Amino acid sequence: MQNLLVTGGCGYIGSHTALLLLEKGYTVYIIDSNCNSNPFVINKLKKIIMKKDKQLAKNLIFFKGDLRKKKDIERIFEYSKHNNKIIEAVVHLAGFKSVNESMKYPLMYWDSNLIGTINLLKVMQKYLCYNLIFSSSATIYSCLENKLIDENFPIKPINPYGNTKRCIETLLEDIYKSEKAKWKIINLRYFNPIGAHHSGDIGEDPNGIPNNLFPLILQVASSKLRELKIFGNNWDTRDGTCIRDYIHILDLANAHIAAFEYLSKTKSQIINFNIGTGKGTSVLELINTFKNVNKIKLPYSFTSRREGDQKYIVADNSRALSTLNWKPLKSLEDMCRDGWKWQLKNPNGYIDN
Ligand code: UFG
C-alpha cells in the first residue's frame, strides 16, 4: 500500500503524522474542513519536506472538505482513482476533541464525530478501501487506582467526547464483524501528546484559550497568561497533583506509521493499541521539567479539582511495543524543549505566517 488519506490532516496530530508518512515516501491525501485548524499547515509541511527531498512535496494532496458531507469524501476518492493513486488506507483523525466543549455542545460532537465517521466508512466501502487506523483516546477508560491501563481495562467514558470515541469503536467492531475477511482496523488509544516537531515549524495551535495543560504552560511561559492554575494538590499521588502519560507528538505520529505498516502485512482483524510511554508524570513534575529545560519562569497556583478529572492515567503500552515495530524514543525534556521552540517561532500559532 502506498496511498493514504489522512482525515483532519491539518490538525496537531494529523500534521505530524502526514509529515512522517510523506518522509517515508507515501502519497498523502488530506481532507480537513479547517474549522479547528489552519490550511497554512499544508505550506509548512511542504516547506519541511522540500528540505529533505523536493519530489516528496508532490505527494501531498490537500482537499478542503467536511466529512459530514459525503460528497466531499467521494470527491477525494474519485480524484485518487482518476489519478491512478487510489486511496488504499485511511488514518481517521478528523473530529472535535475538547472534553469541556463536548459537555456544552454534545449534539455538535455526536454530529461531527459520528456522522463524519459513518460517511467515511460508507465511502470507503464504495471504493473498496478496507484499511483503517482510527484515532481513539485514553479518555474512554475509567481508572480509579494508580495502575497501568491495558487495553482490557473497563471502558467507561464520562463525557460526550469520550462517548463518541467509544461509540465509534463499537461501530468499527460491527463493521469488522459484517465483513471479517476484508477489514483491517486499528484503534489507537492516545494518551497525552505534547511537544512539537523538532524544527519548531509545526505544533499545536489551539483556538482561543486552551484547555489542556501543555498549551497552557506555553502561554504562561510566554506571558500571555499570568499563571497556571493547577487543578488540585490533594490527590492520592506522590506530590498531590494528577498523573498523566505525556508522549512526544512525533512518537505518537510514528505509532501511525508503525500501525499502517503492520496493517499492510497482517491478516484482517480489528485491534486496539494504547499509545503512551508507560511513564507517569505529575503536573508539578511537568512544570518543573519545563522550567529547568527551558530556563524560564512558570508561575502557578493551586485551585480546586476540575470536574471529571482522574488522578492517574498511564498506559500499559506492552501490546504496542510487542506487536508494532514501534517504541517511544523521546524524553519529557525533548517534549518540553520542542514545544517551547514551536512557541518561540510561532508566538501566535499559524496566524502570523
Ligand atoms: N491541568 C491543570 N490545570 C489546567 C489544565 C490541566 O492542572 O489548567 C491538569 C489536569 O487536572 C490533568 C493534567 O493537567 O491532571 C492534564 O490535563 P489535560 O487537560 O491536558 O489532559 P487530560 O488528561 O485531562 O485529557 C487529555 C485530553 C483528552 C484525552 C485525554 C487522554 O484533553 O482529550 O487527555 O488521556 F482524551
Q: Return the CATH number at 174.
A: 3.40.50.720
Q: Residue 223 C-alpha to ligand 1 middle, in angstroms?
A: 21
Task: Give dist(CA 152, CA 170) in Å, integer.
Answer: 14
Task: Give dist(CA 175, CA 193) in Å, integer.
Answer: 28
Which ligand 1 atom is the nearest neighbour of the CA of 161? 33
- Which cell goes with 147? 495502575
Q: Is residue 351 part of a domain?
A: no
How many structural domains are present in the chain? 1
The SS3 assignment for 67 reads: coil
Query: Does 212 sit in the ligand 1 pocket, CB within 6 Å?
Result: yes
Q: Is residue 62 part of a domain?
A: yes
Q: Is residue 122 part of a domain?
A: yes
Task: Give dist(CA 279, CA 268) in Å, integer.
Answer: 31
* Res. 222 pLDDT band, cuts 50 70 90: very high
Q: Residue 212 C-alpha to ligand 1 middle, in angstroms?
A: 5
* Run of H or E including 171: helix 160-178
Average of pLDDT values for 132-142?
96
* Res. 142 pLDDT band, cuts 50 70 90: confident
DSSP state string for 8-30: TTTSHHHHHHHHHHHHTT-EEEE
Task: Give dist(CA 67, CA 123) in Å, integer.
Answer: 10
Q: Is residue 96 part of a domain?
A: yes
Whether the pLDDT of residue 352 is over 80: the answer is no
Q: Is residue 289 part of a domain?
A: yes
Catalytic residues: 161
Q: Residue 1 C-alpha to ligand 1 middle, in angstroms?
A: 36
Q: Note the pTM of the prediction, 2 decimals.
A: 0.97
Which ligand 1 atom is the nearest neighbour of the CA of 231? 7
Which ligand 1 atom is the nearest neighbour of the CA of 139? 36
* Nearest CA residue ID for atom 21, ligand 1: 212
Q: Is residue 352 part of a domain?
A: no
Question: Side-chain half-sphere of 262: how many Cα atoms within 13 Å?
Answer: 26
Domain encompassing residue 255: 3-345
